[in-house]
Amino acid sequence: MVDHEKQLQQDLTAGMVKILRENPGIKPEDAMRQVSKDMLANTPFIAPKGCPVNNLPNELLAQIFHAGVAMDDEDDEDDDFDDDEYDDTLDVLEDWETESDLDEDEGPHKRNMAKGKHAPKGKESAKDAEDDEGNDEDEEHEPRIPFQVLVSHVCRHWREVAIGTPTLWTAMNFTYGSSIEAAKVWVERSKTQPLEIHIDCSLPGDWMSEDDLPEEDDDEMDVASGSAANNADTDAPKPPRPELPVPSKEELYEFLDIIIPHVDRWKAFSLAASHYDRVYAVLERLAQCPPAVQLETLELYNHDDVEEFELFDPPELKQAFLLFEGEAPKLKECSLWGVHLDWVASLSFFQGLSDLQLAYHANEVRPSFETFSKMLTSSLDLQTVSLALSGPAGPKEDWPTTPIDLSHVKELVLHQHEIDYILALLPLLHIPNVISLSLDFDGADYTELAHMLSIPIGERKTSILSGIQFLKITEMPCNNKAREAMMEQLINLKTLNLNCSDDEEEIFFKLLMKTSSAKPADSSKPSVLYCPNLSAIYTTGVSGTAMRKFVEARRSGGVPLKKVGMSGDDEVDNRDEKWLKDNVDEFEYFEPESDYEDGFIEVADDEMLSDGEDMMEMDDDDDDQT
C-alpha cells in the first residue's frame, strides 16, 4: 500500500512540475485540478461519458449483430431438446410484442417477462423460497429470445440499426407455441431479402403419436368385466385427451397464409412432421403456389413411424402433388423423407441438383425405374445421392440391365434396403468416381453385399471400395471373411466413421489393428495393417482405453493416425483423454447422431472436389487403354 501511495505522490509531483513549467501564470490549485483530470482520463474505474460502441458505423454494428445471430444459431444446434420443456422452446416468442408495443418500450427494463422467466424480486411467498434452491437449474430452462430481438431492445440506436437491417430477419422458424404475430413482423422486417422457412411439426422425444393416444370416450378399464371399475363413479368427468406439442392444422394454415405471398423470396423451405396429415396440408398449399424462382433448398421430412413399406399409409393421403407449378430453377438440394411427389411432372426439379436424398418411401409411391434414372441423370452437378429404403419401384425383374451413369456422383449413401433389393440395384448404378460412402443395414445377413462391394462389378476394373476415401459404417452384418475382404479393398481410405455399439461392427475396429492378409506387391517388404492410408477415425461405442490401444497399434504398424474423434457419450477418463491429445495431431468429441440425421460423412468440399477430379482422370486413363 505504501508503494502505491509513493507512486501516486511521484506522479502528482511530476505532473504539477510539468504544468507549472508549461503555464507560468497558472494558479497551483488550477494546476492540481488539471493533473487530476489528466490522471483520471484513462482509468477503468470511471465510466466513460458516452458509449464507445455508438461511434461505430451502422454497417459495422449490423455485422456484429449478424455474428451474434450466427452464434445464437450454433448454440441452438448444440443444445439437447428436453421433452419436459417443449413448451418453453422458443423460435419466435408467444409473448411477442407488436410494433406499437415496441415503440412505447425503448428500454429492456420495461419488457414483459417471457414465459418461464422469473418474476421480479419482491416479497417472497413460501413457494418462492423453496424455488430459490433451484434457481440455477431454472435459469438453464428459460426460453431463449432470438438475438436480433434482444439487440433491438437495448437502446434506440441499436433498435434502429437492427430493424433497419433486413438480413437479420430472414430465417423464420415455426413450431409449437410460435407466434403468428411474430411471423408477420419477421416478414415485414425482412423487406425484399430471400427467406429461409423452417416448419417443425414433429413430436419431441418419446411423446405418443395421435394413434397411440386413448380416445376421449375410452374407459380406463372395461366396466362390464366385473373389475374394480364397477365401483367407480361412472359419472365422473374423464381426464382430457392430452394436447400434442405440435402446431395444429389451423395454426399451420395461418402461418402459410403469411409466407406464401412471398414465395418468390423463398431461398430455403424445410418441413419436419411426425404425422402425414401435416405434410399433406403443406403439400396441398405448395401445389397452389406460383414458381419458387429463388428456392435453393427443399427439405420435406415425414418422421411417422411406419412399419409397412409396400403400400402407402394412410391411403386417403396418397395423392402425389406437383409443387410450385414444377418450377424451381435454382434448386440445388432436395431431401424427401417419406414424402412423395408427382415424380414425372416434377422432373424439372432435379435438373440443377447437387444433393438428392430419397428416404423411406413405400414401394407403391416410388418412381418407376425410368423416372428414377431421369431424376439422377438430369443434373451433371449432382454430387451426393442418398438412398435410404427408397429408390425405383419394383418388381426388380422389370428393371432394365443398362446401368445408370452416375460418373459425376462423388458421395453415396445406402441405408436400410432389403438385401435382395440392394443386390439388384447396386450393379445398375455406375459410380466410378464415388469417394465417400455410408452404409447402414440391419435385420438380415448382408455378406453378399459386402462381397459385391469388394469385387469389380459391371464394367469396373476395380471394386467400389478400392476408390473410397471417406467411409461410414453404422451397421453392416456380415461374416468375418466378408469383413476382411472389405478391409482389404480400402487401400485409399483416409477417414473412417465407425459405430461400434454392436459387437459385429466392433470387429471392423479390431481388424484395423491387424496385418492385412494380402501379400504386398514387393515381396521384400513386410505386410502392413489394413487401410494403410487411414489418417482419421471417428467412433461411437469405443472406450478411451480401447482407443489408446488402437492408436498405439496403428503407430506400431507404421501407419499412425493424425486425428481421432469420439462420441461424447462414450467412456473416456481424463488420463486417456490427455494421452490421446498428446499422441495424435487432433482429438475431439462429437455428438452422436439422432434417429433422423442422415449420417453423411462430413468432408471438406475442396478436398472432395480435388480427390474426385483425380479419380475421374484415373477413370479416363483406364478408358483410353481399353
Instruction: Examine residue 58 and state whether it is found in any structural domain, yes or no.
Output: no
Q: What is the pLDDT of residue 142?
A: 55
Taking the chain (626 residues) in runs of 10, the rounded mean pLDDT of each run is 74 83 84 81 69 81 89 65 37 43 38 30 39 48 76 89 93 90 94 96 68 45 41 52 79 96 97 94 97 98 83 94 96 97 96 96 96 96 96 91 95 97 96 97 96 93 96 95 96 96 88 77 64 96 95 94 95 95 95 51 45 48 45
Residue 439 forms beta bridges with which residues? 414, 473
Q: How far apart are CA 520 and CA 454, in angstroms?
A: 18
DSSP assignment letter at 3: H
The number of distinct structural domains making up the chain is 2
Residue 252 forms beta bridges with which residues? none
φ, ψ of residue 527 to 5 degrees: the values are -65, 150
Instruction: Examine residue 344 and state whether it is found in any structural domain, yes or no.
Output: no
b/e burial code for range 214-231 (CB count within 10 A of at least 16 → b) = eeeeeeeeeeeeeeeeee
- Within 10 A of 166 (CB to CB), how many other CB atoms are there? 13
User: Helix axis angle, 58-78 relative to 156-163, nearest 10°?
Assistant: 80
Cα atoms found within 13 Å of the Cα of residue 460, Cβ hemisphere only: 26
Q: What is the pLDDT of residue 15?
A: 82
**Can you read off the three cell numbers belonging to residue 430?**
455406375
Q: What is the pLDDT of residue 3?
A: 75
Residue 539, SS3? strand
Instruction: Examine residue 377 and state whether it is found in any structural domain, yes or no.
Output: no
Residue 529, SS3? strand
Q: What is the pLDDT of residue 518?
A: 60
Which residue reads 440455477 in cell numbers?
136
Structural domain span for residue 424? 401-534+593-626
Instruction: Examine residue 352 and state whether it is found in any structural domain, yes or no.
Output: no
b/e burial code for range 440-450 (CB count within 10 A of at least 16 → b) = bbeeeebbebb
Specify whether the CB–CB gap between 441 and 499 falls below 8 A: no
Residue 269 forms beta bridges with which residues? 197, 298
Q: What is the pLDDT of residue 97?
A: 47
Q: How far apart are CA 558 and CA 241, in angstroms?
A: 64
Instruction: Examine residue 108 and state whether it is found in any structural domain, yes or no.
Output: no
Instruction: Examine residue 613 and state whether it is found in any structural domain, yes or no.
Output: yes
Specify whether the CB–CB gap between 378 and 401 falls below 8 A: no
| Domain at 416, CATH number | 3.80.10
Instruction: Examine residue 550 and state whether it is found in any structural domain, yes or no.
Output: no
Instruction: Examine residue 205 and state whether it is found in any structural domain, yes or no.
Output: no
b/e burial code for range 266-281 (CB count within 10 A of at least 16 → b) = bbbbbbbbbbbebbbb
